[in-house]
Amino acid sequence: MKALLSKASGGPDTLSLEELPDPIPGKGQVLVGVRACAINYPDVLIIEDRYQFKPPRPFAPGGEIAGVVEAVGEGVTDWAPGDRVIAVPGHGGLVEKLVLSPAQLYRLPEGRSFEDGAALLLTYATTIHALLDRGRLSAGQTLLVLGAAGGVGLAAIELGKAYGATVVAAVSSEEKAEAARAAGADATLVYPRGVLDKKASKALAEAFKAAVGPKGADVIYDPVGGDYAEPALRAIGWEGRYLVVGFPAGIPKLPLNLTLLKSCDVCGVFWGAFAARDPQANRAHVDTLFRLWSEGKIAPRVTEVFPFAEGGAAIAKMAARAVIGKVVVRVAE
């Protein structure tokens, strides 16, 4: 089988497409023929050894996949060859064949493409856990979403609206603002890119405050970090919840006096650890996502599909923060 491998720490240009022996499922395992693999920001980090999990090399990046069961090992009864599945292995998805445990698999609904299936779980499962478990979002509250045109950002807009919130989407361009409005955002705000000096930071804080209204944001969803974090925190409401999701713009340092003045919470969101620690609660969230998907309240927005040989280019586009929605690598037809 073919696999896109990271053999040394570095950027997407260090990846190489190579031949490996086909894996064989052991007892209690399932062999999946990968059809599509979605790309997410952890794929940028993991090949540069900047992710919290560092797999031994060589390894394939690619954290979420969709495909078809090709074979099952001894003792597997819930899955059979031909079943269409999606899974979030965390890494290893940019391969033609992948061995997984049955507990990692979810059925891909009929009528849904492999590309859409691959683009669903990581962003939406992260976001539903963030908004409901960590953010305690409820109807009538105000949700401020940073990086609102990315995969998790659009998921936050859609889920925020599904749960009755007023959603303010903050993005870095008018093109991204258009995507946020199409996803259902009630209001949009375009912030500057790059390093913010003290004056620019203060101006952005005032813009956030104006956008969320005089009571402030009940929940702030931040998958961006960097210089945007403090201005956003200054726009939080009394007893608001600030959700820390990711740091493509850098790891910020927040002035903790703001948390005292607003009596607010700063909440970390680590969906992978949550799913491992409480698989039953995670599966309930995923069941909810499938229902919302069937009702048309959420839908992965796949904006570009790359051929397998150009998987590195897909990761490079993610690294450049040039992605709207999701990009997917088509591994096989």
**What tens digit of pLDDT does each residue of 242-275 get?**
999 999 999 999 999 999 999 999 999 999 999 9
Give the mean pLDDT of 125-153. Answer: 97
Predicted local confidence at residue 15, as pLDDT: 97
* Residue 187 binned pLDDT confidence (cut-offs 50, 70, 90): very high
pLDDT at position 153 is 97
Average pLDDT over residues 59-71: 98
pLDDT score, position 331: 98
Mean pLDDT of 48-72: 95
Q: Is 0.85 topped by the overall pTM?
A: yes
Q: What is the mean pLDDT of residues 42-53?
A: 93
Strands (E), the chain: 2-5, 16-19, 30-39, 64-72, 84-87, 97-100, 105-107, 142-145, 166-171, 187-190, 217-222, 236-244, 265-268, 302-307, 326-330
**C-beta of residue 310 within 8 angstroms of C-beta of residue 130:** no
What is the average pLDDT across 94-115?
97
Report CA torsion sign: 7, 13, 19, 22. positive
3-state secondary structure of 19: strand
- The answer, yes or no, to whether residue 325 has pLDDT greater than 90, is yes
> pLDDT of 156-184, one tens digit each?
999 999 999 999 999 999 999 999 999 99
Q: pLDDT confidence of 214, banded at 50, 70, 90?
A: very high
Cα–Cα distance for residue pair 52/235, rounded to 1 Å: 30
Q: Which band of pLDDT confidence, cut at 50, 70 and 90, is reported for residue 53?
A: confident
Provide CATH 3.90.180.10 ranges for the chain.
Answer: 2-120+300-330, 122-272
Q: Give me the architecture of the 2-120+300-330 domain, per CATH.
A: Alpha-Beta Complex (3.90)
- The strand order across the sheet containing 265-268 reads 187-190, 166-171, 142-145, 217-222, 236-244, 265-268
Does the pLDDT at position 110 exceed 90?
yes
Single-letter code of the amino acid located at 46: I
Confidence bin at 144 (pLDDT 50/70/90): very high
**pLDDT band for position 54 (cuts 50, 70, 90):** very high
Mean pLDDT, residues 60-68 taken together: 97
Give yes or no for residue 321 having a pLDDT over 90. no
The domain made up of 122-272 has a fold known as: Quinone Oxidoreductase; Chain A, domain 1 (3.90.180)
Residue 210 confidence (pLDDT): 98
Residues, the chain:
333
pLDDT of residue 165: 98
Q: What is the mean pLDDT of residues 113-122?
A: 97
Q: Which pLDDT tens digit goes with each residue over 9-24?
A: 999 999 999 999 999 9
pLDDT at 18: 96
Sign of the C-alpha dihedral, residues 43, 330, 68, 326?
positive
Q: What are the backbone dihedrals phi and psi of residue 56, each rounded to the nearest 5 degrees, phi first?
A: -65, 145
**Above pLDDT 90, what percent of the chain?**
97
Supply the mean pLDDT for the chain: 96
Closest CA to 153 of 132, 113, 111, 184: 184
Mean pLDDT of the region 68-95: 97
